[in-house]
Structure 1
Amino acid sequence: MVGMMQRICVVGPCGSGKSWLASRLGERLGLPVVHMDRLYWKPGWVEGTQEELRAKLEEVVAGERWVIDGNYAGTLGMRLARADAVVWLDYGRWVYRRRLLWRQVAGRFRGRPDMAEGCRETFDPEFLRYAWDFEKTGGVALREALAGVPAGVEVLRFRRPGEAAGWLGEGQKFRPAPRA
């Protein structure tokens, strides 16, 4: 079934591996990969506006083939309206919390391929607080949006990283994306 998908949304908590999975899907299916963080953020951690994000995203979702990773609940409806499938990384909080802490410590001062140029990984207490409380904040909005997935859009919900890797046909554990 993986091969039949042409427009895929990858969602889940911060640190769950959305970018890793989106990149693997893009490689496997020959689909362009778009990271919501790259659309939203400007160099040096300057936030874009919602209008800028929506304009960029409209252009992307108008395409016939893509993998888009990221939550951004305010624009999820735009993606879901055009998606064939949603891959939901609904892992236990200790999985993504551990990964996020590791990313913040190990990747300190390095860029990531899923981020805008000039956005180096830093130890950001405000972001960590948001991510730590994801179930109460972003998780609520994500679940509400996914409850309204249009008919015909397949939702693949993975509860453990091994399930996602197995679905991809990769008998390996999660590996962080290479650093830029």
Structure 2
Amino acid sequence: MIIGNPGSGKSTLARKLSDLLGIPAYHMDTIFWQPGWVPIKREKLVQETKKLMEKDAWIIDGNYGATMDIRLKEADTIILLHFSTIRCLYGITKRRIQYHNRTRPDLTEGCPEKLDREFFQWVRKFNKRKAPHIYERLANYPDKRQLIFKNRTQLQKFLQKLS
């Protein structure tokens, strides 16, 4: 399970781990967003997430509080990308430029990349408002392998050891 601020590289990491470990990667954004940026209902999100977790092995990236505890209970390894706010703002801006008028691979087709003020502010406030709650949730799972990366250098060293 991979969680963290938008723009931290959760989906990129999921794809890399999938390639390295031979485990399928799934993106919560793909489950949640229907074409045209239409969200699915909470019940459907929970149902679809549970279906994925019935598989023998999985890598799921994304936050989504409605399913976070379900995924935390089932995951054997939890990765938190707790990068600086500026790093994540750079990530979402770069992504917006890279996928201008296109749908990125970890989203449902028909959801072209966008960057609006509301999302920018959400990312800007994530480390102060959301991260503390994530740490509280992680504290409920001391038996799980938890990997917390504070920067890309730490993450790259981890990936080098894996390969």
Task: Tell me which residue corresponds to 1:146.
Answer: 138
Note the C-alpha offset of 1:139.
Answer: 2.3
Residue 158 of structure 1 is aligned with which of 117, 133, 149?
149
Instruction: Give identity over the alignment, percent.
Output: 34
Matched, 1:66 2:58: yes
Measured after TM superposition, the shift of residue 94 of structure 1 is 1.4
Structure 2: where are the runs of 5+ without partners? none
Aligned-pair distance for 1:150?
A: 5.1
Structure with more of its chain in helix, by fraction:
2
Task: Tell me whether 1:169 sits opposite 2:160 in the alignment.
Answer: yes
Q: Quote the residue 1:177 is aligned against.
A: none
Contact map agreement 2:46 2:66 (CA 8 A) in 1:
no
Distance 1:49 1:109 in 2: 26
Q: Is the 8 A contact 1:16 1:91 kept in 2?
A: yes
SS of 1:133's partner is: helix
Name the CA distance, whole Å, in 2 between partners of 1:93 and 1:165.
19
Contact 1:105-1:123 within 8 A present in 2 as well? no
AA aligned to 2:82 is D
- Backbone CA RMSD of aligned residues: 1.4
Unmatched 5+ stretches in structure 1: 1-8, 171-180
Letter in 2 for 1:168: L
> Aligned AA for 1:66?
W
Q: How many residues of Structure 1 are paired with residues of Structure 2 in the alignment?
A: 161
Distance 1:63 1:150, change over 3 A: farther
Query: Do the aligned partners of 2:46 and 2:67 also contact (CA within 8 Å) in 1?
Result: yes
TM-score scaled by structure 2?
A: 0.92
The superposition leaves residues 7-46 of structure 1 with CA deviations (integer Å, 9 ceiling, x where unpaired) of: xx01110000000001000011100101000011101100
TM-score of the superposition, structure 1-length normalised?
A: 0.84
Match of 1:43 in 2: 35
